[in-house]
Amino acid sequence: MLAEALFFSAVLFTIGVFGVLIRRNAIIVFMCVELMLNAVNLTFVAFAQAYGAAGQVFVFFVMTVAAAEAAVGLAIIIALFRHRQTVNLQNINLLKG
Amino acid sequence: MLPLLQAATANTHPLTRTIAEWVWLVPLLPLLGFVINGVLSLAAAYHPGPADPGLAHDETTGGGASEHAHADHDTDGGATGNDHHPVARHRFSGLTSIVGPGVLILSFLLSAAIFLAMRGAGEISAPFVQRYFSWMPVGDMHIDAALQLDQLSMMMTLVVTGVGALIHIFSVGYMQDDPGYPRYFAYLNLFVFFMLLLVLGGNYPLVFIGWEGVGLCSYLLIGFWFSEKANADAGKKAFIVNRIGDFGFLIAMFMIFANMRTLDFTGVQQGAASLPVGGTLVTAICLFLFLGCVGKSAQIPLYVWLPDAMAGPTPVSALIHAATMVTAGVYLIARSSMLFSIAPVAQIVVVLIGALTAIFAASIGLKQWDIKKVLAYSTVSQLGYMFIGVGSGAYVTGLFHLVTHAFFKALLFLGSGSVIFALHRAYHHTGNHDDAQDMRNMGGLKTYMPVTFWLMWIATLAIAGIPPFAGFFSKDEILGALFARAQHSTIASAHLFGIPGSAWLYFAYLLGLVAAFMTAVYMTRMMIYTFHGPNRTGEKERGYLAEAPWIMTGPLVVLGILTAVGGWINLPEFAPLGRVGALEHWLDPVLGEPTARVIAGAGETSTGLEYGLVALAVLIAVGGIALAWTRLKPETLVPKREAPQEEGFEKVLINKYYVDEIYDEAIVEPVVGISRGLLWRGVDAGLIDGLGVNGSAYFARFVGWIGSQLQSGQLGTYAWVLVAGVLAVLGAFSIR
């Protein structure tokens, strides 16, 4: 049971990583970040079921922080769109040396 | 009373519980004067009163009784025309006139009282050392702030405070109208403090502090009118040339400490007893010490600063550059006689340098036109005589000449100051810009300044060596002692460059005789051109020439009396006009043993020979005066601005053998060139600034630029790098 859960979570995390690396749309990148967070949550839950309930507490924390992060992140993306008329990350490159 | 660290050792001394315990007050009084006058000077500079606006400005521009045609001519001379110039007197000048000379008079009275106590205490064989606090306790080295009172330091203290007090009083008249009056007295008081530290210090480092301190005050006073660049440059020259000598003093101190583990005079005396006579070590120590003396006492090759030092006020020249500071080298050799007396080769060097300086400076003095320059070269020459004295192991005669020279040279300088003062005042009245120090602008002053005239003739006869004035006895004793040492002494049997010491000493004796002849000539020349013949000052100015006020002539009279009778303190045996050899007897506890060691049991010079030598010396002096008197015609002289250019050897003499120019070419220019080209542009600007400071900045900037190129602003790139980093870390863990 644990092995399957971990395998599924690893697949989910990898999809998230590749999404972040490959996609150019900020919203999709953002969703992929959420995907990675949820993959981590899944691992926590799986381990909690196998070794004790402490991991589930962390899951609640992660979900709270993820919710806050989603609110802030989406707000930033909206502000960015209003300013630049785009959410394509290739066009958003002001922070450079 | 200051706390005594080691009162126990002093308790057994005959001077304990006498006024001699107050010896610390002797140098401290001038220091107090320095503080008061310094505060007055600063107080007025920062708060100029409403009565004298622009005083702070005058303070820096100089003026008053200045030497050359000075800044005050340019600023107020034109505006006020022939009227009396508005006195830019300092608002605290009254208080300064009391404090400045007052502390010196008190100091002199105290030292006189200590002198009487010493005489009353009977035979004092050991020095009276007062330790006040531990100054430098570092490892093996224990240096105390200690004053050493013995017959030698007592004599020097009396000269410094006595002649110093007279010159301070003279300064009141000479400098009172100068806007920097309190500053002047602050420096002068500070000088006396350091000079007393120099002569009273109980160990070499303390003497060195005094030695450096008088150098500092000399610098400050030479450049007293620093708004003129020449004066400031002269101060710097004195300071820098003296550094060379001070380096020698320091090296000598290091060597003494490295070998004897002490720097106290009493300790070095014990340490010297175990050193081999004529050893390399003691000879090296003595030669390095002598290098210090060469700098401070203006001997060849470091004498060049002293003639330039005449840029300072004339009383300064009298006090610092004639009577006291420049004789510090002579004092140091006498103080270190326990070392010099066992280093005969070093003694030969001292005699030779002294003799060469005596004749060299005297020959330059023959053709100088500036009255103070004549006296400056005369001082250099007379210092040479003193070194002949202490160098030939006749320490007492060297010191005797130091004392008499302090009297007659202070008199000559103050007399010339009085002459310059009169000329300057006359020129000031008419707004004339002529040189108040050039003898071609003087002449015939005897009718205008009779007191100065007579007193300066006394001093001239004294320095020329005419009996019975002070200089005759001292100079004659030096030459006599030199002759006797050449016949038989440890110096005569030593060798320098393979030539026996006696040959060197006879050679020095010859130089000394020729220099004595020149001394008589140039001094008579100076007197003739200054006081005799027709007056060349100028038609309008002549009416304003007058004798200086009594506050200036008073000290001159006292010095005149001392010059006339000063020889009595150490009468030779052939002239028993009073107590014979009083100074020699007085200094015997300090200098008797080293002198005896040099003499090495030689008998007395035969009386007939002695009379012959004296007669020869007097004949030479009279001959010099007679030659100058008959050959020099003041009637043919013309004022400076009409004077023709000199030619031939005269020109060489007037230009001082071009020594300054040679030094400039051989030393100053290369040093400046290397400093500018290599050290500044190459090392400092190139290596340190270019490679070190700016180079490291450029390197950091380059590395930063490389880093900045990685920052593309592309979020995707950052994410790839991040993931690559994570994979690398994970990979590193898994490989392990």
pLDDT at B702: 94
Assigned token pair, B81: 């025309």
What confidence tier does B604 reach under pLDDT thresholds 50, 70, 90? Answer: low
pLDDT at B434: 80
Q: B423 φ, ψ to 5°?
A: -65, -40
pLDDT at B296: 92
Q: Are A10 and A39 in contact (CB under 8 A)?
A: yes
Q: Are B512 and B504 in contact (CB under 8 A)?
A: no
DSSP state string for B301-325: TSTTHHHHGGGS-HHHHHIIIIISG
Distance from CA of B719 to the nearest CA of A (A): 6
pLDDT digits (tens, 9 = 90+) for B96-109: 889 999 999 999 99
pLDDT digits (tens, 9 = 90+) for B168-209: 999 999 988 888 889 999 999 999 999 999 999 999 999 999
Rounded to 10 deg, the angle between the B151-175 and B550-565 helix axes is: 150
CB-based contact A21 B720, cutoff 8 Å: yes
Distance CA B652, CA B171 (A): 35
Q: Is the pLDDT of residue B4 over 50?
A: no
Q: What is the mean pLDDT of residues B651-670?
A: 86
Distance from CA of B717 to the nearest CA of A (A): 8
Residue (of B678, B458, B430) closest to B558 by Cα position: B458
- For chain B, the domains span 407-644, 663-735
- 3-state SS assignment for residue A87: coil
pLDDT digits (tens, 9 = 90+) for B348-404: 999 999 999 999 999 999 988 899 999 999 999 999 999 999 999 889 999 999 999
Q: Are B327 and B383 in contact (CB under 8 A)?
A: yes
Q: Is the pLDDT of residue B340 over 70?
A: yes
Q: What is the mean pLDDT of residues B419-425?
A: 89
Q: Is the pLDDT of residue B648 over 80?
A: no
Choose among A20, A90, A97: nearest Cβ to B711.
Answer: A97
DSSP state for residue B4 in the 8-state scheme: P
Q: What is the mean pLDDT of residues B558-570?
A: 89
Q: Is the pLDDT of residue B85 over 80?
A: no
The total number of residues written for chain A in this structure: 97
> HSE-up of B57 (CA within 13 Å, CB side)?
6
B264 beta partners: B203
Residue (of B242, B244, B218) closest to B231 by Cα position: B218
Distance CA B130, CA B136 (A): 16
Q: Which amino acid is at B170?
A: F
The alpha carbon dihedral of B101, B107, B113, B115 has a sign of: negative
The total number of residues written for chain B in this structure: 736
| Cα angle, residue B264 at apex, residues B261 and B269 outer, rounded to 5° | 85
Show residues of chain A in contact with B711, CB under 8 Å.
Answer: 95-97
Distance CA B366, CA B529 (A): 12
- The least confident of B131-135, B669-673, B711-715 is B711-715
Rounded to 10 deg, the angle between the B607-631 and B470-487 helix axes is: 130
Residue (of B128, B199, B129, B127) closest to B163 by Cα position: B199
Interface of B with A (CB under 8 A): 707-716, 719-720, 723
Residue (of B27, B24, B7) closest to B16 by Cα position: B7
What confidence tier does B542 reach under pLDDT thresholds 50, 70, 90? Answer: confident
Distance from CA of A83 to the nearest CA of B (A): 18
Interface of A with B (CB under 8 A): 17, 20-22, 24, 29, 89-90, 92-97
Whole-number average pLDDT of chain B: 85
Q: Which long-range contacts (CB under 8 A, 24 or more apart) does B45-53 make?
A: B49/B91, B51/B91, B52/B88, B52/B91
Distance CA B138, CA B601 (A): 43
Q: B183 φ, ψ to 5°?
A: -60, -40
Domains of chain A: 2-91 (1.10.287.3510)
Residue spans of alpha helices (H) in B319-449: 328-335, 337-340, 344-365, 371-391, 395-430
Q: Are B365 and B463 in contact (CB under 8 A)?
A: no
Report the phi/psi class of residue B444: left, alpha or beta, with left for phi > 0 and alpha for psi in -120 to 50.
left
What is the signed CA dihedral for B545, B546, B548, B554, rounded to 10 degrees?
Answer: 150
pLDDT at B401: 93
What confidence tier does B2 reach under pLDDT thresholds 50, 70, 90? Answer: very low
Distance CA B131, CA B251 (A): 25
Residue (of B593, B591, B568) closest to B581 by Cα position: B568
Q: What is the mean pLDDT of residues B644-650?
A: 75
User: Does the ipTM exceed 0.85?
Assistant: no
- Site of tokens 């005569």: B492
B399 vs B439 pLDDT, higher one: B399
Show residues of chain A in contact with B720, CB under 8 Å.
Answer: 21
DSSP state string for B45-86: HHS--TTSTTHHHHHHH--SS-SSS-HHIIIIIHHHTTSPPP
Q: Are B330 and B383 in contact (CB under 8 A)?
A: yes
What confidence tier does B10 reach under pLDDT thresholds 50, 70, 90? Answer: very low
pLDDT digits (tens, 9 = 90+) for B268-312: 988 888 888 888 999 999 999 999 999 999 998 899 999 999 988
Q: Return the number of CB contacts < 8 Å for A and B.
A: 32
CB-based contact A90 B720, cutoff 8 Å: no
pLDDT at B87: 53
Q: Is the pLDDT of residue B415 over 60?
A: yes
Choose among A20, A95, A96: nearest Cβ to B719.
Answer: A20
What confidence tier does B88 reach under pLDDT thresholds 50, 70, 90? Answer: low
Q: Are B392 and B482 in contact (CB under 8 A)?
A: yes
What confidence tier does B53 reach under pLDDT thresholds 50, 70, 90? Answer: very low
What confidence tier does B15 reach under pLDDT thresholds 50, 70, 90? Answer: confident
Q: Is the pLDDT of residue B74 over 50?
A: no
pLDDT at B7: 45
pLDDT at B605: 66
Residue (of B552, B465, B464, B474) closest to B172 by Cα position: B552
